[in-house]
Amino acid sequence: MRLTVSPQDIQEGAFVVIQSGHWNYYGIVTDINLGATDPRFADEQTEVRFPAHIAKALHGQTLYANLEVLPNLMLEVGPELGTPEYKDWQGKIDAGLKDAPRILPVKNIPPHHAVVSLANEGDIAEIFGDPNKESNFVIGYTREQNHPVCIDLDKFVQRSSGVFGATGTGKSFLTRLVLAGLMKHNQAAVLVLDMHNEYGFDDVASDTKKAVKGLKTLFKSGVRCVGLGAGSTIRGNQVDFNLEISTGDISTSDIETLSRELNLRETTPTILNALYGTFKDKWFAAFRSMSRETVMIEDERGKTKEVPAEGSVAKWAMENGVNVMAAEALHDKLRRLFSQPYIVDNPAADSVAQIIQSLEAGKHVVLSFGEHESDLDYLLVSNLLTRKIRAAWEKKTNEFRTHGKAEPKPLIIVVEEAHKLLNREMAAQTTFATIARELRKYYVTLLIVDQRPSQIYDEVMSQLGTRISGWLGDDLDIQAVLSGLSGRDSLRGMLARLQPKEEVLLLGWGVPMPLPVRSRRYDEAFWKEMSGGEEEPRGEFEGVGVWW
Q: Which of 528, 511, 462 is nearest to 72 (CA)?
A: 511
Q: Which of 257, 284, 279, 421 is nearest to 340 (CA)?
A: 284
Local structure of residue 247 (DSSP, 8 states): G
Helix axes 475-482, 488-496, angle to 10 degrees: 130
Mean pLDDT of 330-348: 93
| pLDDT of the residue at 35 | 85
The type of residue at 287 is: F
3-state SS, residue 331: helix
Query: pTM of the full predicted structure?
Result: 0.86
355 vs 446: CA distance, rounded Å? 17
Q: Tell me the CB-side half-sphere exposure of residue 258, using CA atoms within 13 A.
A: 25
173 vs 289: CA distance, rounded Å? 44
Convert the pLDDT of each residue in 160-200 to its tens digit. Answer: 999 999 888 888 889 999 999 999 998 899 999 998 888 99
Q: Which residue has the higher pLDDT, 56 or 234?
A: 234
Ordered domains of the chain (ranges, CATH):
7-118 (no CATH), 150-244+347-530 (3.40.50.300), 252-338 (no CATH)
| pLDDT of the residue at 202 | 87
Convert the pLDDT of each residue in 357-412 to its tens digit. Answer: 999 999 999 999 988 988 899 889 988 999 899 999 999 999 999 888 889 999 99
| pLDDT of the residue at 429 | 65
542 vs 388: CA distance, rounded Å? 42
pLDDT above 80 (res 526): yes
pLDDT band for 540, please (50, 70, 90 cuts): very low
